Chain A
Amino acid sequence: MTASSETRAPAAPAAPPVPADPAERGGVRHGVGTDAPRPDGVLKVTGEFAYSSDLWADDMLWGATLRSPHPHARIRGIDLTEAVRLPGVYAVLTHEDVPGAKYYGLERADQPVLADGKVRYQGEPVAIVAADHPETARRAMMRIAVDYEVLEPVSDARRAAFDPACPPVHGPAAPPEPGGAARPANVVRYQPVRTGAFAAGAGLDEVRAQADVIVTGEYQVGMQDQAFLGPESGLAVPAADGGVDLYVATQWLHVDQSQLAPCLGLPPEKVRLNLAGVGGAFGAREDLSMQAHACLLALRTGRPVKMVYHREESFFGHVHRHPATMRYEHGARADGTLVFATMEIVLDGGAYASTTSAVVGVASSMAVGPYEVPNVRVDAYGVYTNNPPCGAMRGFGAVQACFGYESQMDRLAEALGMHPVELRIRNAMSEGSRTATGQPVDMPLPMADMLARARALPPPAEPETGPGTDPRRLPGGVAGTTRGEGVVRGVGYGVGIKNICYSESFDDYSTARVRLELVGGEPAVQVHTAAAEVGQGLVTVQQQVARTELGVERVVVRPADTAVGSSGSSSASRQSYMTGGAVKAACEAVREAVFRLARERGLPPGADDALELRGGAVVTRLGAVVAELAELLADTAVEETRVFRHRPTRPMDPLTGQGDAHVQFAMCVHRAVVDVDTELGLVRVVELAAVQDVGRALNPLQLAGQIHGGSAQGLGLALMEEVQVRDAAVRNPSFTDYLIPTILDMPPMRVEILEHPDPHAPYGLRGAGEPPTLSSTPAIIAAIRAATGRPLAHAPVRPEDIVGLPVP
């Protein structure tokens, strides 16, 4: 392999020589590969950055949503009389007031804009109100009388998956697909994968006979909340043309538009979306929340309507990570070589489909992890229940599977008496391997090297215990719960693999418009896309790409809106690849147009035809200036729009799962070191180190931030984060009861970045946002297992699991 490997860890060997000014690469400051500053950074530290909840308009009304207290109920009637009478109330709307399509959805239009005679989950929107003050709206909602006939909820996902007698959450089962078997009505998607002997029809016992050691495990992943800090919010402004302008925090403007327009009974061009400041996303803004409601109220009242969810409402207002129950079995030879793996994964999609089908695709295709296994049998199910709807969250089905296969690897290593890293390296995939879905890995995948690096990292300092120890260094922390008695240290490893970009033959593309012109006599670039900046730093990357491609430092990224073509979703770790790729393509077109202009003016004698744009000038390859842009563009602007697509992908075969379903694979390895108070069930993560291959680091500072943040969300899932659902009702919808990591919970995070370019991707980059969220959870739980000897089959690990008490 000829790929270069660059390490950015603190203890790294010297980096390759860089120019004297680290911000300069290839003749332009703050281009690709530098720590270019965020263009929105200063606005965000002065408080001027306008988030979707900060918007305000003259004559604005406040919208509010009445939600069902019941997970499952029939609505016998709704009486609005008393609500409408309240002074200051301008509109109260129900299902009957939805002018167009009554249902919407990302994959299936199964979700009502407002409840249609039935509610299928706790918190489902039933009616909406517009009033002159949020408190007026709240009081009006209290006066809406809904007559519910409470029904028994379907709350057990396994029953929904396997029991034909389970009542259907929606209609009866769809007829089976050609060649497929009939499934219970609540199965949204069933996806099997079969390879080796299993594909040839061999039975499990036959395959088992080839293994010297077999380990089985049943694992659960709890329902995780994205817990972005900026609540669902936006401002809908009715327009003179009968349409509406919506300013909203979302991940994909155009998919919102395509769902909204039919519901509002308007053509898409009359539903114009503008991206307002987004306070984090992590998947939770893929589905609609307040968008349709605010637009309906604005169109009805003829006044701008602002809606802002409060935190409790937010827990009901967006989808969560699918909880999973997983049954795994792995067999290996005595030397550790994997012989077979079987897995059954049941993902609870809750009341509406959202992205459940795609989540099943990822979970099934990634179910075996980054390991070479000759015989694989996967059965993955995504089901309807009356639990909270689940959909996208960072890691998207791969997180759940990763906790399963990594737990199994540790169990197998223990059974074999091998070091867990050694077992993983023995079975590691690499460039040239095939995935369980038969797809060749045609890009670098230096997993063995990453594992070896993680293992070789220097260990953190020994645990401090005994009298006088600073409580902040002990499990339980500032609460001073322990003085260090019964504290045991453990070390664990985790590896995860994630597909990048949209898969399974989805037509995945991004559009960019780039304009080069003189502003105040200086060349300046404008980049316009519909891509959602959600905090990840995409606006910085767009600037960097334009600077590098056009040799112009001054680049402005225009606000994202639907006036330009779709950029697809800010999810699947895809935007650097896709919108980065689109901006690059548009810049290349602009560059060619500039060269044409230069050639029309006539090249100086002796100039060859290979021109470049550098330092605000058209230059020859040897650096001779052909024309200054300031001259060339004196009275003209060059503007080009390009659509970028990644290479096509294929569907998964419905019976065998085979198919080149994915664009790119990305991996992260974590080593976790924990101190566990084995008597009190408390954990302190001492260090969480990551090794990640990113192909090419476009912005190392922002990249490290993605790895840190993804690791932190994985730590949350390992130790504290679970939406508690009992009988389909949520028990902890607040930051008092749903805990996310604080700065006291987070350990120092060493990050080692490798750069083995993917030859198929723009600049060789590899999507980076999701992989750290996969591997940090199993690494931390493996470390707790190492410290305690407990099996720990549930993420998050609860104190009861550690001390061996029943979990209530």
Chain B
Amino acid sequence: MRVSFEVNGRPVRADDVWAGESLLYVLRERLGLPGSKNACEQGECGSCTVYLDGETVCACLVAAGQAEGRSVRTVEGLADGEALDPVQSAFVDAGAVQCGFCTPGLLVQTHDLLRRTVGAGGQPPGDDEVREALAGNLCRCTGYEQILAAVRLAAERAGGAA
């Protein structure tokens, strides 16, 4: 089948898609966007988290056909050209990136959390709120300590910029 949707602000089309393919597979293998990761492909790890019409989803749990006509934003669409999003630079600066396989999903989920909080004129999220928001994103390298530090730093930077 043919699937047409929008990714990171540009229209895309994939042909000869088998009906069983996930949005994740189409992004990674047909559209040249492997940034969203394939760590479990069963919705347990969050490494494939993307925005679908503004809501975060596990791309591995979305059938490719369900994306028809909709808008997807992936980790590749977070930066503004060469300028990293504050979430991205905070993850690098705080040591939150080790192997980095969980990073794309965590970035999108954190981006969403900050969009809903400081981005909407609210307070920076407290640690408990951060932990709850990121509970669906597994990381095996960091023990999450520097991820928490990165989210605090990103919230500070995003708040400052708002």
Interface residues of A (CB under 8 A from B): 35, 37-38, 40-42, 44-51, 53-54, 56, 133, 135, 226-231, 277-282, 308, 310-311, 470, 472-473, 478, 534-537, 701-702, 704-705, 708-713, 715, 734-736, 740-744, 746, 748-749
Knowing A37-B92, A38-B92, A42-B84, say if A47 contacts B36 (CB, 8 Å): yes
Q: Which chain B residue shows the least CB distance to A473?
A: B128
B38 and A135 contact, CB distance less than 8 A: no
Q: A45-B89, A743-B130 are in contact. List 19 more A-B contacts (CB 8 A).
A: A38-B92, A38-B97, A44-B97, A45-B84, A46-B75, A133-B18, A135-B18, A229-B102, A229-B138, A279-B99, A472-B128, A478-B135, A705-B141, A705-B142, A710-B143, A734-B44, A735-B42, A742-B144, A743-B147
CB-defined contacts of B41 to chain A, threshold 8 Å: 310-311
Knowing A38-B92, A133-B18, A311-B41, say if A51 contacts B141 (CB, 8 Å): no
**Bound-complex Cα distance A133 to B25 (A):** 11
A709 and B143 contact, CB distance less than 8 A: yes
Interface residues of B (CB under 8 A from A): 18, 20-21, 28-29, 32-42, 44-45, 47, 74-76, 78-79, 84, 88-89, 91-93, 95, 97-104, 107, 128, 130-132, 134-148
A704 and B141 contact, CB distance less than 8 A: no
B131 and A44 contact, CB distance less than 8 A: no
A708 and B135 contact, CB distance less than 8 A: no
Per DSSP, chain A at the interface is loop
CB-defined contacts of A53 to chain B, threshold 8 Å: 34, 37-38
B135 and A535 contact, CB distance less than 8 A: no
B104 contact from A47, A708, A741, Cβ within 8 A: A47
B107 contact from A45, A51, A228, Cβ within 8 A: A45
CB-defined contacts of B142 to chain A, threshold 8 Å: 705, 708-709, 712
A229 and B144 contact, CB distance less than 8 A: no
Shortest Cβ distance from residue A276 to the other chain B in the assembled complex, whole angstroms: 12
CB-defined contacts of A535 to chain B, threshold 8 Å: 98-101, 141
Inter-chain CB contacts under 8 Å: number:
188
A-B contact pairs, 15 of them (CB 8 A): A41-B92, A46-B78, A53-B37, A54-B34, A229-B47, A277-B100, A280-B99, A473-B128, A705-B95, A709-B140, A709-B141, A734-B40, A735-B40, A742-B137, A742-B138
Q: Which of A40, A44, A702, A742 neighbours the largest number of chain B CB atoms within 10 Å of its CB?
A: A44
B39 and A231 contact, CB distance less than 8 A: yes
A228 and B140 contact, CB distance less than 8 A: yes
CB-defined contacts of A704 to chain B, threshold 8 Å: 95, 145-146
Q: Which chain B residue shows the least CB distance to A470?
A: B128
Knowing A734-B40, A734-B44, A743-B131, say if A705 contacts B100 (CB, 8 Å): no
A740 contact from B100, B134, B140, Cβ within 8 A: B140
CB-defined contacts of B21 to chain A, threshold 8 Å: 135
Shortest Cβ distance from residue A205 to the other chain B in the assembled complex, whole angstroms: 46
CB-defined contacts of B135 to chain A, threshold 8 Å: 478, 742-744
**Bound-complex Cα distance A99 to B131 (A):** 52
Knowing A45-B107, A47-B36, say if A278 contacts B99 (CB, 8 Å): yes
**Bound-complex Cα distance A736 to B29 (A):** 25
Q: Which of B40, B75, B89 neighbours the largest number of chain A CB atoms within 10 Å of its CB?
A: B40
Shortest Cβ distance from residue B145 to the other chain A in the assembled complex, whole angstroms: 4
Shortest Cβ distance from residue A786 to the other chain B in the assembled complex, whole angstroms: 23
B145 and A230 contact, CB distance less than 8 A: no
Shortest Cβ distance from residue B17 to the other chain A in the assembled complex, whole angstroms: 10
Shortest Cβ distance from residue B109 to the other chain A in the assembled complex, whole angstroms: 10
Q: Which of B20, B41, B142 neighbours the largest number of chain A CB atoms within 10 Å of its CB?
A: B142
A230 contact from B99, B107, B136, B138, Cβ within 8 A: B99
CB-defined contacts of B42 to chain A, threshold 8 Å: 311, 734-736
CB-defined contacts of B47 to chain A, threshold 8 Å: 229
**Bound-complex Cα distance A734 to B146 (A):** 26
B98 and A49 contact, CB distance less than 8 A: no
**Bound-complex Cα distance A704 to B79 (A):** 28
**Bound-complex Cα distance A61 to B20 (A):** 18
**Bound-complex Cα distance A702 to B101 (A):** 17
A45 and B37 contact, CB distance less than 8 A: no
CB-defined contacts of A133 to chain B, threshold 8 Å: 18
CB-defined contacts of A44 to chain B, threshold 8 Å: 92, 97, 100, 103
CB-defined contacts of B103 to chain A, threshold 8 Å: 44-45
A282 contact from B102, B132, B140, B144, Cβ within 8 A: B140
**Bound-complex Cα distance A151 to B18 (A):** 39
Q: Which of B84, B92, B95 neighbours the largest number of chain A CB atoms within 10 Å of its CB?
A: B95
**Bound-complex Cα distance A523 to B144 (A):** 38
Knowing A44-B100, A709-B141, A712-B143, say if A229 contacts B37 (CB, 8 Å): yes
